[in-house]
């Protein structure tokens, strides 16, 4: 019998079992690889923060899917005083409330009709890092986008990471990476526009943005699955090597077959505020 994906119980169980990067990263790769994976995400976020003038202690940040607090810690180290975290798992709210008593945390579903009433605020920066592709139901996905828009001020910046494939969505039981065109349309329909799109990973995450289905399956089978087996034995070496290669590729290629970040702003004058 196939187990149905139920987001709250899935993440509650996973985060309760181990409250660390393995729980939110590749749990079969080990701590060393995940440290390199997330170190690269911190590097890329730092560039986006600098390029978009997001670093001010007076800015308010909403971290959607705050998980084990990786990004919460980054914002704290950068001096942000006003941060709210939202996660579907109660264990995340409880643990992070203890670790970061100066911030607010909510147990809430970003796709819930009642989210805006629960959070009840507007934010200068809203992030959804590796979160929205876990909403596999399209109606709930659109509700999540609508909620994000309702939590924006006129000058908000929204940061979202996903694969954003161009022609073929990537769908698993607990993941649905929608094609870039569909993503863009849902955002526009709800009063949000993409102003930039930047690579996060080239090699550290699976290359899922391959339009040819046969080629995609072949790459995932021959390269990524082999890669997984190698990583399990040499996590530190490969994590370091691939992070260096990711940095090098970012100097020459502005688009990635893997994880990317979109930088968005609310469309002014719409009726979604």
Here the CATH number for the domain that contains residue 71 is 3.40.50.150
In a domain, 186, yes or no: yes
Structure tokens belonging to residue 153: 């001020």
- Model pTM? 0.90
DSSP state letter for 170? E
Structure confidence by residue, pLDDT tens digits, 170-220: 788 888 999 999 999 999 999 999 999 999 988 777 776 766 666 666 666
Q: Is residue 271 packed enough to be buried (19+ CB in 10 Å), middle (13-18) or exposed (0-12)?
A: exposed
In a domain, 253, yes or no: yes
Residue among 127, 133, 138 at smallest CA distance from 206: 133
How far is the C-alpha of 14 from the C-alpha of 3, rounded, in Å?
Answer: 15
In a domain, 2, yes or no: no
Structure confidence by residue, pLDDT tens digits, 82-119: 999 999 999 999 999 999 999 999 999 999 988 888 88
DSSP state letter for 104? E
Structure tokens belonging to residue 196: 């930039």
Structure confidence by residue, pLDDT tens digits, 3-54: 678 889 988 988 898 887 776 766 656 667 778 888 889 999 999 999 998 8
Range of the domain at 60: 7-266
C-beta neighbour count of 232 within 10 angstroms: 14
In a domain, 271, yes or no: no
Tally of structural domains, the chain: 1
Q: Strands, E, within the chain: which ranges?
A: 60-64, 82-87, 104-107, 123-129, 152-162, 170-172, 175-177, 192-199, 260-266
In a domain, 38, yes or no: yes
- CA terminus-to-terminus distance, the chain: 44
């Amino acid at each position: 019998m196939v187990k149905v994906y139920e987001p709250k119980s899935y993440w509650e169980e996973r985060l309760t079992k181990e409250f660390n990067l393995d729980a939110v990263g590749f749990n079969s790769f080990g701590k060393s690889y995940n440290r390199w994976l997330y170190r690269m995400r911190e590097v890329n976020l730092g560039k986006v923060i600098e390029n978009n003038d997001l670093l001010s202690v007076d800015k308010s940040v909403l971290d959607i899917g705050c998980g084990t607090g990786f990004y919460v810690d980054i914002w704290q180290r950068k001096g942000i005083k006003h941060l709210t975290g939202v996660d579907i798992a109660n264990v995340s709210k409880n643990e992070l409330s203890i670790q970061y008593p100066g911030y607010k945390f909510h147990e809430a579903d970003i796709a819930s009709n009642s989210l805006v009433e629960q959070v009840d605020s507007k934010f200068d920066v809203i992030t959804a890092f590796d979160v929205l592709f876990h909403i596999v139901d399209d109606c709930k996905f659109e509700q999540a986008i609508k909620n994000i828009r309702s939590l924006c001020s006129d000058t908000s910046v929204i940061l979202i990471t996903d694969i954003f494939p161009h022609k073929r969505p990537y769908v698993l039981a607990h993941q649905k990476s929608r094609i870039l065109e569909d993503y863009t349309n849902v955002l526009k329909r709800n009063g949000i526009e993409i102003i930039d799109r930047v690579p996060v990973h080239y090699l550290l995450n699976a290359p899922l943005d391959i339009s040819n289905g046969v080629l995609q399956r072949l790459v995932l089978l021959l390269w990524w699955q082999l890669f997984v087996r190698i990583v399990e034995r040499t996590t530190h070496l490969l994590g370091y090597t691939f992070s260096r290669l990711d940095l090098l590729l970012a100097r020459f290629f502005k688009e990635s077959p893997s994880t990317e970040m979109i930088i968005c702003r609310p469309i002014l004058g719409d009726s979604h505020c």
